[in-house]
Amino acid sequence: MNIGSIATAMITPFREDGSIHFEMVSDVVEHLIANGTDSIVVCGTTGESPTLSHDEKVALIRFVVKTVHNRVTVIAGTGSNNTQASIDLTNEAEAAGADGIMLVAPYYNKPNQRGMYEHFAAIAQSTTLPIMLYNIPGRSIVNIQPQTVLQLSKIPNIQIVKEASGNLDQMTEILAGAPDGFTVYSGDDGLTLPLLSIGGAGVVSVAAHVVGNDMQKMVKAFKEGRHEEAASIHQALLPLIRALFATPNPSTVKYALTKLGIGSEYVRSPITLLTDEEKSAFDDVWQEYEKKQI
């Protein structure tokens, strides 16, 4: 599965009453494609997947696939802490035309490594779609250990791991032992450049909603050997990336997008809208970023 250098974990725009605003979903898709996104992840955590119903996820996947119309890769977040439910949603995502699926580590249940292997292997066996594993111990509590990732990488349709452990040593271990064609992507915007430097392929990004083109410039500079330029862009991006995650995701990135005339601020409980003070704090960082020449 080719997802390029930058995949964006897309927000889900809502109306004030909490329903999905499909017209705005279309606007967000067009914005992302025009601003540096190589592929789109729909129904990920940034899309507020924990508060989307099964039927809403299926409708959203179908809509995004239709809107994208083969212009970029569409990856559907179908993982959960329920193996059978993940299989069911995966089957519907495949029928809807998704190009691949993303499977988060089973959260809350706290399975051991054998349990996680069996969970992912069972879902992989149920589909022909390429699979991206998603390791995010800060949210799921469990860490998919490198040896488990490497064991899973032997399953033909498990082709990518999105690593959001923040542990570059762990990522290095996976890269050193992975078979040809298995790739590692950062799940943290701020580790995009460090991961590229040890052999990673790119990032599944939140910040790309607003700075996708600048992130592409950084990746291109690195790949073309202009490492000082890449480092300079990374340094300029980092304060903005931190500001985007100063409140629970995706409230700040939704607010940031509205400054560009895209989407809506509305989020589903238990995520909350930004306060005026939080907006002001982000505005200050945004203004400083706009002054920089990237």
Q: Give residue-wise pLDDT tens across range 39-86.
A: 999 999 999 999 999 999 999 999 999 999 999 999 999 999 999 999
What is the predicted pLDDT for the residue at 134?
98
134 annotated active-site: yes
Mean pLDDT of the chain: 98
Query: Coil, strand, or helix at residue 8?
Result: strand
Contact 240, 209 (CB under 8 A): no
pLDDT the model gives residue 85: 98
Q: Considering 57, 117, 134, 255, which one is annotated as catalytic?
A: 134
291 as an active site residue: the answer is no
Catalytic residue among 162, 217, 254, 279: 162
Q: Which residues of the chain have pLDDT under 70?
A: none
The class that CATH gives domain 6-224 is: alpha beta
Q: What secondary structure does DSSP assign to 92-157, as a single string?
A: HHHHHT-SEEEEEPPPSS---HHHHHHHHHHHHHT-SS-EEEEE-HHHHS----HHHHHHHTTSTT
Report the Cα–Cα distance between both ends of the chain, in Å, rounded. 30
Residue 87 has a pLDDT of 98
**pLDDT at residue number 89:** 98
The per-type count for the chain, helices as H runs and strands as E runs, is: 12, 8
- Give the model's pLDDT for residue 41: 98
CA distance 59 to 68: 14
